[in-house]
């Protein structure tokens, strides 16, 4: 088998022979335009329509005045005189007979390799098998590929190689390209929905001088001219809420965010977030809005990309559950007792009454800790308050089984669930609940077991916010490297008066995963972060 270097040299030799024929291997003489692009798109759609293809003439039925159509793109297969050409709209084929071409075009055709870019032009015909083909009267070389495509065009199979060489993955695997076209549609649909509700799209800085807006470890950088240490933003939240103070009552941003965290099927160090803020609204108003927004986006996806949606394990048309965090823990214990979800050390030692008794809850956590895995033990060891323990137990006990716990009435699919009433200790920017200040007016949305979004009624009491920032600094002192900084300017902004408001953050990548049935965040990022390739 020839090596990559040998294959490359063979193609380089062909490139040199093209030059000898007066043809540039990498020309820029063919230019498309809207009319040509529409002709190409129509041709590809026609190729997929058996009934329409049946009306085309056979090759020997062509008349001299038959209209010519252009087909241009990458050659992905050669089958005798037929070339299969891949376009952004799909594949179509051309029947290229040297005796139907000029002498020069026929000579250029002999130097064709798979993956080259070409133009063929001629009348559309019906082949003997009933398929469409462009009967070439003109052949033009548009670009040379020096490396061959994946063997036999079965696509890239090695997952690591697919992510690392996405440029090959996209043209070798059309289904992959469909996911990223769907991603673009999803972002457009989110914008369209928010624009229709009077939200103003804005842009806020990516470079921050302090960390804020979320609890996460940042990426550090440095501005040379100002001799200033900076971080890549971990959230746009605090800048967007400054705009509420400034009088923009409805704002949103869709943009890149960076968190110096581990990599998993749900996490990438850089990701796309949607955040919007709405004055004179509560987190309960946002729950209604979010249901409508995600259903509207999903409707667009199902119309344009039905092949990606498949048989879903969740139902977005079902009633979306709204469950308080402590009630979710109680539901988990009850369902374990009924055999609906697995028993764990928690379900065996924690009672429903203990959830609402701070001392009993702490005693149960201390008794259970030695029975847990090291990661869970570490998480519990960092809890110093009842609220922190409640949140930890929710993450450890409940979150993994949300899909099993909340189902559609017939039990066939999981139902979306809003988890509400978070402890204030783990919600440094959310407004306290008026009836129970130990908890805040906040929700997280889970669909099919995936955490998609976080939202809350915003804290606009500058003194309370200052105390929360101080609490974050104390957390930093005790070893929490994800705690926020004290943002004095943000406190000053709140002191000028921020209207009552609610804010929402959505992981766009996770939404794409959900709606397009993709198992990993790397499958919805064009260029996910990878370790450097070994030499």
pLDDT digits (tens, 9 = 90+) for 47-61: 999 999 999 999 999
DSSP bridge pairs for 225: none
Strands 417-423, 321-324: pairing is parallel
- Tell me, rounded to whole angstroms, the distance of Cα 347 from its chain centroid: 35
Angle between helices 374-381 and 386-393 (to 10 degrees): 160
DSSP 3-state of 389: helix
- CB distance 253 to 207 below 8 Å: no
First to last CA, the chain: 22
- The strands making up 228-232's β-sheet, listed across from edge to edge, are 207-208, 228-232, 220-223
User: Using CB atoms within 10 A of its CB, is residue 152 exposed (0-12), middle (13-18) or buried (19+)?
Assistant: exposed
Per-residue pLDDT at 156: 52
- Tell me, rounded to whole angstroms, the distance of Cα 511 from its chain centroid: 6
The length of the chain, given as a count of residues: 535
- CB distance 145 to 11 below 8 Å: yes
- CB distance 386 to 358 below 8 Å: yes
User: Using CB atoms within 10 A of its CB, is residue 79 exposed (0-12), middle (13-18) or buried (19+)?
Assistant: exposed
Strand intervals (E) in 89-144: 90-95, 117-122, 124-126, 132-135, 138-143
State how far the Cα of 301 lies from the Cα of 303, in Å rounded to an integer: 5
Per-residue pLDDT at 159: 82
State how far the Cα of 531 lies from the Cα of 208, in Å rounded to an integer: 26
Lookup result for tokens 């490297």: 481
| Domains in the chain: ranges and CATH | 4-149 (2.40.50.140), 155-312+507-535 (3.30.930.10)
Q: For the chain, list residues with pLDDT below 70.
A: 151-157, 535
Residues 6+ apart with CB under 8 A from 184: none
Per-residue pLDDT at 149: 87
Rounded to 5 degrees, what angle do the CA atoms 288, 292, 297 make? 150
- CB distance 130 to 53 below 8 Å: yes
State how far the Cα of 256 lies from the Cα of 236, in Å rounded to an integer: 9
Structure-derived torsion over alpha carbons of residues 318, 322, 327, 328, reported in degrees to the nearest 10: 50
- CB distance 84 to 90 below 8 Å: no
Per-residue pLDDT at 92: 96
Angle between helices 325-337 and 386-393 (to 10 degrees): 50
**H-type alpha helices, 48-173:** 50-53, 103-109, 159-164, 166-172
State how far the Cα of 466 lies from the Cα of 23, in Å rounded to an integer: 70
- Tell me, rounded to whole angstroms, the distance of Cα 40 from its chain centroid: 29
């Amino acid at each position: 088998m020839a090596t990559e270097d040998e294959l490359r040299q063979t193609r380089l030799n062909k490139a040199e022979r093209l030059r000898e024929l007066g043809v540039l291997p990498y020309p820029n003489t063919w230019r498309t335009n809207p009319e040509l692009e529409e002709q190409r798109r129509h041709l590809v759609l026609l190729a997929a329509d058996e009934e329409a293809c049946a009306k085309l003439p056979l090759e020997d039925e062509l008349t001299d005045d038959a209209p010519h159509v252009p087909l241009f793109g990458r050659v992905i297969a050669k089958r005798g005189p037929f070339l299969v050409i891949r376009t952004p709209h799909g594949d179509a084929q051309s029947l290229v007979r040297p005796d139907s071409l000029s002498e020069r075009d026929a000579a250029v055709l002999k130097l064709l390799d798979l993956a080259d870019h070409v133009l063929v032009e001629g009348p559309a015909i019906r082949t003997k098998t009933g398929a469409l083909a462009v009967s070439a009267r003109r052949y033009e070389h548009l670009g040379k590929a020096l490396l061959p495509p994946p063997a036999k065009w079965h696509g890239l199979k090695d997952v690591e190689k697919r992510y690392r060489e996405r440029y090959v993955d996209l043209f070798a695997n059309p289904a992959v390209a469909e996911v990223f076209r769907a991603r673009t549609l999803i972002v457009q649909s989110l914008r369209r929905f928010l624009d229709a509700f009077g939200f103003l799209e804005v842009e806020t800085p990516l470079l921050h001088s302090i960390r804020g807006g979320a609890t996460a470890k940042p990426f550090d950088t440095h501005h040379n001219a100002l001799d200033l240490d900076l971080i890549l933003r971990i959230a746009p939240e605090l800048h967007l809420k400054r705009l509420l103070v400034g009088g923009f009552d409805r704002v949103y941003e869709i943009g890149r965010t960076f968190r110096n965290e581990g990599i998993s099927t749900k996490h990438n160090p850089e990701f796309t977030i949607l955040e919007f803020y709405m004055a004179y609204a509560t987190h309960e108003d946002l729950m209604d809005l979010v249901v409508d927004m995600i259903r509207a986006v999903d409707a667009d996806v199902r119309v344009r990309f039905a092949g990606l949606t498949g048989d879903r394990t969740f139902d977005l048309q079902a009633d979306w559950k709204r469950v308080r965090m402590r009630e979710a823990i109680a539901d988990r214990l009850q369902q374990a007792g009924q055999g609906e979800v697995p028993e764990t050390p928690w379900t065996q030692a924690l009672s429903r009454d203990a959830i609402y008794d701070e001392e009993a809850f702490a005693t149960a956590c201390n008794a259970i800790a030695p029975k847990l895995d090291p990661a869970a033990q570490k998480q519990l060891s960092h809890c110093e308050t009842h609220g922190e323990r409640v949140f930890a137990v929710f993450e450890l006990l409940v979150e993994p089984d949300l899909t099993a716990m909340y189902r559609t009435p017939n039990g066939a699919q999981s139902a979306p669930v809003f988890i509400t009433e978070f402890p204030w200790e783990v919600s440094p920017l959310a407004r306290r609940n008026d009836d129970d200040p130990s908890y805040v007016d906040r929700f997280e949305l889970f669909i099919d077991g995936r955490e998609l979004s976080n939202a809350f009624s915003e804290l606009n009491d500058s003194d309370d916010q200052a105390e929360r920032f101080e609490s974050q600094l104390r957390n930093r002192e005790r070893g929490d490297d994800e705690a926020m900084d004290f943002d004095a300017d943000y406190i000053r902004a709140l002191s000028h008066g921020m209207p009552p408001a609610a804010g929402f953050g959505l992981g766009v990548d996770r939404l794409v995963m959900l709606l397009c049935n993709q198992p990993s965040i790397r499958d919805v990022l064009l260029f996910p972060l990878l370790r450097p390739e070994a030499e």
